[in-house]
Chain A
Amino acid sequence: MATAVAPTRAQPVVIEESVATRALRVLARAPVHIVLIVIALLWLLPTLGLFFTSLLQPEDLGEGGWWQVFSEPSKLTFENYRTMVGNEGITSALITTAWITTGATILPIMVAALAGYAFAWLEFPGRDWIFLGVIALLLVPLQMALIPIFQLYNATGLYDTILGLILFHSAFALPFAIFLLRNFFAGIPKDLMEAARIDGASEMRIFFRLILPLGLPAVASLGIFQVLFVWNDLLVGLVLAQDNQPIQPAIASQLRQFGANLEVIAPASFFSAIIPLAIFLAFQRYFVQGLLAGSVK
């Protein structure tokens, strides 16, 4: 980012600035800081609310809002989480989600990397037209596939299986993944590619030894996007699974009695948000890069 282009010309002025004018300048900016602090607190409030709600017992929640924890911190307890760990439905849904997310992240990236390489560096008839087709598929909403795939899965036994969900998510991740990787690979210097080809390396070899290592930043961005997308999916899991439901649909089935089930819903929702949050925090840089590269989806 171009933040390094700070106005260096202003530097000498700052040095000569007296304490009084400096204080004045800071004071003049004070309203901005106050506004920002208020906004930041407002933005954190809802998530904090879920967190504290998940740490309160149902009988305490019946008595008042979650902010009672500020006056009576002793009410905080991990009891709901302990119950959640013992709740077969929630734990198995979390494990299912982990499997689906892993599979539906690795598989489409591999497939898309192969295709992206072909679109960027191999010659074949109709290449540009096929790539235009991929771009068109970017905007096919997954609702277009739900009913036929539901029927297909029921006929083939893929319904309610982890594999079925992995394959569905992989397919719908492909257009964006191919688009992003093709553009990234196309940016690799031509000299590098030609040198490798003149050396007689096979396309497979070039792909694995040159393209993939160079494309790692793009692969990382894609991977984080896909993890968040699949982990956070509700609709596909709701339609294509029943007993093997991932976590979001599993929580959704508790919603009918929101108030009564809050001691299950709140910790499960918070816990299910922790994982994408942690991944997001750890790889924030790649996430932002991906966001900037591909805000077309």
Chain B
Amino acid sequence: MSSTSSASVGAAPPVTEAPPGGPSRWRKHATALAFLTPAIVFLSVWVIYPAIRTFIRSLFSDGGDEFVWFDNYTALFSDERVVTAMKNNAIWVAVVPAGVTALGLVFAVLTERVRWAVAFKFAVFMPLAISLFAVGVIWRIMYEKDPDSGVVNALIASGRDAVKEPGVLPTAKPSSEAVTGTPKGGIRLEETVEPGGTAFIGLTAIPPRDMPASAKQAVEPEAREGGITGVVWRDFKPGGGTPGEVETEELGIPRVTVELRSSAGGKIAEAKTEDDGTFVFEGVEGGQYEVVVGSATFANPFGGVSWLGEKLITPALLIAYLWASAGFAMVVIGAGLAAISRDVLEAARTDGATEWQVFRRVTIPLLAPVLTVVFVTQIIGVLKVFDIVLSLAPEASRDNATVIALEMWEKSFAGQNRFGFGSAISMFLFALFIPFLILNIRRFRAENG
């Protein structure tokens, strides 16, 4: 402060009231112009002029030599990929702003009275500093299809394994005439068995890698009084062997579920095979029984959900985007929460409102302006979304994952050079922003009289 005044000591008295139209007024305007010129030049050359050019260009053919009126615009709606892009952008707008706002609200409220909130907020906020392009790379690693290398599918696989035993023999076939059936319906012994009998269920066409590591040399079952015994084994011996006979070097198949069914078809008992393939049903009443290896045993092992395939690519993108953006909403809403006066909340509580009522009837209405800002900001961001689609969606799924900004780039620059069509896409995108543009101007004018 003092530095500004010290320099002017002894200077002529300042002209505070210049006569209208006088030279000092011109000087004032000239000064203002000098301050504004760099910005005006930048905005004119790089924003305003190109925007006008883009509009004009959108009325010409791709080559630029033919005036085609609005043909490029009508062509937008007959281009299959552009239509998919518009639909996808609509999905993005329907899901992301609501999702991000909801997540942000929940996180902000949950962390409000937690001491280590800073650490939590850092974890959720951090992705905001990472480029959306890198976010795509990060989630491409997460979504790997093979449950052995993709975390998402690995989590799903372990969830499934906890609920049901994984199938072990997706390709198995009966090894001899004595056994019939298909993996789908279950494989069973052709002839029924009665108590004291034995069941030999030989299977082939099992690749070595499908065999459980614990498998041991198969053993012929010993008949047992009042019970049914049997063996399930890999009836294949390198260099040949006799189908239907347990021989050396043939492995028993462990952990196979064998069912005992009455001749009417109802399930009576279940047994699991040992490492040597043998199984036992104890205390079986007299009669004829079918011995069946259930279809569950032959179910395909979980190969992973194809997140990056054509069907799931957009949901996969939305999840990744929510992950990246929730922190933004959390911080902005958190600041809004902190600004709410405690007295108002206390007053509501004193009046006997429950915590939920306070939240629903007091907190949310007070937060409404903040929630709106988050929501609108997200709509604007989502309409422009580009980077994450380019990096997360493999080229094979692009037809299904595409968005408007990606189409604009692909049609104009990725080897196609369709400048007329690309300009029309840009104009379409701009048109989507116009409501927000008007909203912004209105809000500004309302705030500034």
* Contact surface of A with B, Cβ cutoff 8 Å: 1-3, 5-7, 9, 32-33, 35-36, 39-41, 43-47, 49-50, 53, 61, 64-67, 108, 110-112, 114-115, 117-118, 122-125, 127-128, 130, 132, 134-141, 143-152, 167-168, 170-172, 174-175, 178, 192, 195-201, 203, 205-207, 209-210, 228, 231-235, 238-239, 248, 251-252, 255-256, 258, 262, 265-266, 269-270, 272-273, 276-277, 279-280, 288, 291-292, 295-297
Contact = CB atoms under 8 A, between A and B. Distances in A.
Given A136-B441, A269-B138, A205 B4 contact: yes
B127 interface: yes
Q: Which of A66, A122, A178, A276 has the most chain B CB atoms closer than 10 A to its own CB?
A: A122
A53 B7 CA distance: 61
A260 to B, nearest CB: 13
B130 A277 contact: yes
A174 B384 contact: no
A117 B34 CA distance: 11
Contacts of A45: 142, 151
A49 B141 contact: yes
B422 interface: yes
Contact of B131 (A44, A112, A248): A248
Given A64-B148, A136-B437, A167-B46, A112 B39 contact: yes
B47 A40 contact: no
B53 A148 contact: yes
B448 to A, nearest CB: 8
Contacts of A292: 331-332, 335
Contacts of B50: 144-149, 152
B308 to A, nearest CB: 9
A141 B433 contact: yes
Contact of B338 (A2, A128, A178, A239): A2
Q: Which of A195, A206, A288 has the most chain B CB atoms closer than 10 A to its own CB?
A: A288
A135 B130 CA distance: 27
Contacts of A40: 119-120, 123-124
Interface stretch (B66-74, B80-88, B271-279, B372-380): B372-380
A291 B110 CA distance: 21
B446 interface: no
B391 interface: yes
Contacts of A277: 126, 129-130
Given A39-B124, A115-B36, A205-B7, A46 B440 contact: no
Nearest to A124: B32
Contacts of A252: 133, 390-391
A53 B412 CA distance: 35
A198 B16 contact: yes
B29 A124 contact: yes
27 contacts: A5-B342, A7-B346, A32-B114, A39-B120, A40-B124, A49-B141, A65-B148, A112-B39, A115-B39, A122-B32, A136-B440, A139-B380, A143-B429, A144-B50, A145-B50, A146-B426, A149-B46, A150-B413, A170-B46, A200-B8, A201-B5, A234-B390, A239-B409, A258-B140, A266-B137, A269-B134, A270-B134
A147 B422 contact: yes
- Which size bracket describes the interface of B in this complex? 35 or more
Interface of B: 1, 3-5, 7-8, 11-12, 14, 16, 28-29, 31-33, 35-36, 38-39, 42-43, 45-51, 53-54, 57, 107, 110-111, 114, 119-120, 123-124, 126-134, 137-142, 144, 148-151, 154, 323, 326, 328, 331-332, 335, 338-339, 341-342, 346, 373-374, 377, 380, 383-384, 386-387, 390-391, 394-395, 405, 408-409, 412-413, 419, 422-423, 425-427, 429-430, 433-434, 436-437, 440-441, 444-445, 448
Contacts of A125: 29
Contacts of A128: 448
A264 B36 CA distance: 46
